[in-house]
Structure 1
């Protein structure tokens, strides 16, 4: 059961977080800066000058899955280059293709095979991975390697993976607007989010703590109202499972509405929690599943409620809406990307808070 008093006590959080997971979750901005600098030193900018036949995003377990989905959603169907997301490089990989891969597991044998095949056939490879082990050795001297400079626990390396991928998109000229090489705008935004989410802030001032409290003892239904929002929603489900042991349903809002059983459960609860319910005076008997909690995840300029109505033809019960237009104003260059990165960071910190408050994250 959630110990909500813990979230209001920074000293108790620090005493419990002996592994420094919260501190690692606050390094998103620093990860972006270090990865951007690493990409520059690795010569990623030299990829510019010619459009590749295909951009292959290798999806591996961990942050690679989320970063590949975010990059593919950012490019969208209008991308002038075919984008292939796969768990290994396709059989037709060749010298006209660009391969992007990320891992925090230096001994990923399948990824090592993909890297070796790609460089052997002359493809350009950009790899974000530790510098030792079979993965890095598979393409040593024949690829652009960006090594991690800020160590973080598994599941908190999405900012690094995303920054390296964005450096490749920038070099290939696939973004609709210029992105600064150092990615300072993105890093500064993530630093500001980390400041809001620091342990010393009360839950009503801390968006990550507030989100953790809203999701606690519920089954989160994380539904994106746009492609980037859907990618963030799926990342959120992975983050909740990794750090808090919470099982969530994540996907596009159209998929969510089509899941009739979930929709009926949501309609019954109205998406709201009884504020007078006391779990100690009226404990659950364990036979009922946790009630659903709807969370709409949005990154585009449109109002999420209007987007849901336009796409599904109906309104949904009241729930949480993650649409940070206060932090990233409408009309800001790369606003959807910035909102997606901010929300991914927020749900990571919220998942860590929830994991600490439920003792899922154990002390060292």
Structure 2
């Protein structure tokens, strides 16, 4: 059960968060800056002017899964070269290709095998991984290795994964607008989000606490109104599972709207609970599944309600909408990317708050 009083008590939160997970979640901006510096030192900028036959994004467990989804969605079908997302290095890999991989697990044997194959075939390999272990050894001297400089708990390394991937895209000239080498715009947006979500802010001033309270005791449905937001939604589901033990469903609104039973559950929930129901007279109600809570995530310029209506044929006025246009104004360069990383960070922190308030996160 959620203890909502905890979210209004910074000292109680600090006492529970003995592992410093909230503090680690607030390092997203610092992770981006350190990864950008590490990418520069690893020589990723030397790829400038190289036009690959294909860019392969290796999809591994953890933050890598979100990073590959976000990076692929960021370019979309208009990418100037094929973007391939794969669990392992394809058999056709060759010297004209670029392979990008991220892991927080230095002993990922399958990834190590993929790196060995890629470097053996002469492909350019960009690797974000710890310096020790089989993965780093597989690319020793041949892969451009970016090591983590800010240690974080499992599941909070997405900023580093994205920064290394974006540095590669920047060097290859795949982005439609220049991205500063230090990625200061992304880091600044994440620092501002960390400030909004700090424990000392009351829930009504703290978007992550507010979201945690809204999701508590519900089954979250995280639906992206665009492809990039859908990738962030999948990250949110992973964060809720990792930090709060909450099972959530994530996807793109067009596909999710075809889940007819879920749509009926949403419509029933929108009518409100029966105020005359006595839980003591109706004990069977305690065994019912938690009610669903729809959260619409959006990274584009258009109003999410209008996008949902256009793409799904209907809307859900009762949905919570996460469309940070106040934080990232319309017309801002790389606005969709900035909103995506901001939402991913907000979902991370909300999941941590929910995990702490339900005692799911165990003391260190």
Are residues 67 and 28 of structure 1, via their aligned partners in 2, closer, same or farther at CA, if it must alter by over 3 Å? same
Q: Give the structure 2 partner of residue 119 of structure 1.
A: 119
1:279 deviates by 8.6
- Measured after TM superposition, the shift of residue 104 of structure 1 is 0.3
Aligned twin of 2:83: 83
Residue in structure 1 matched with residue 246 of structure 2 by the alignment: 246
Map residues 1-364 of structure 1 onto 2, 5 A cutoff. 1-270=1-270, 285-364=285-364
Distance of 2:295 and 2:175 partners within structure 1: 29
TM-score (norm 1): 0.97
Q: 2: distance between equivalents of 1:312 and 1:68?
A: 26
Instruction: State the Cα distance separating 1:284 from its structure 2 match.
Output: 7.5
CA distance 1:45–1:11, change in 2 (3 Å): same
RMSD of aligned residue pairs (Cα, Å): 1.8
| 8 Å CA contact retained: 2:355, 2:361 | yes
Gaps of 5+ in 2: none
Task: Encode CA deviations 1:165-207: one digit per residue, 9 max, x unaligned.
Answer: 0000000000010000000011011001000100000000000
Change (3 A) 1:93 1:261: same
What's the CA shift for 1:277?
A: 9.7
Question: Match of 1:105, SS?
Answer: coil
Task: Report the CA distance between 1:286 and its aligned residue.
Answer: 2.7
Deviations 1:91-126 (A, max 9, x none): 001100000000000000000000000000000000
What does the per-residue CA deviation read over 1:11-60, in whole Å, with 9 as the maximum and x for residues that have no partner? Answer: 00000000000000000000000000000000101111121000000000
- Verify the 8 A CA contact 1:272 1:318 in the aligned structure 2: no
Q: Distance in 2 between matches of 1:179 and 1:279?
A: 56
Q: Following the alignment from structure 2 to structure 1, what is the Cα–Cα distance between the partners of residues 199 and 278?
A: 25
- The alpha-carbon distance between structure 1 residues 152 and 279, as it changes in their structure 2 partners (threshold 3 A), is farther
Paired residue total: 364
SS at match of 2:130: coil
Please report the TM-score for the alignment, with normalisation by the length of structure 2.
0.97
Distance in 2 (CA, whole Å) between partners of 1:90 and 1:318 is 44
Listed as ranges, the gaps of 5+ residues in structure 1 are none
Alpha carbons 1:198, 1:206 under 8 Å: kept: yes
Q: Is the 8 A contact 1:267 1:317 kept in 2?
A: no
Distance in 2 (CA, whole Å) between partners of 1:58 and 1:206 is: 35
CA distance, structure 1, for counterparts of residue 351 and residue 125 of structure 2: 33
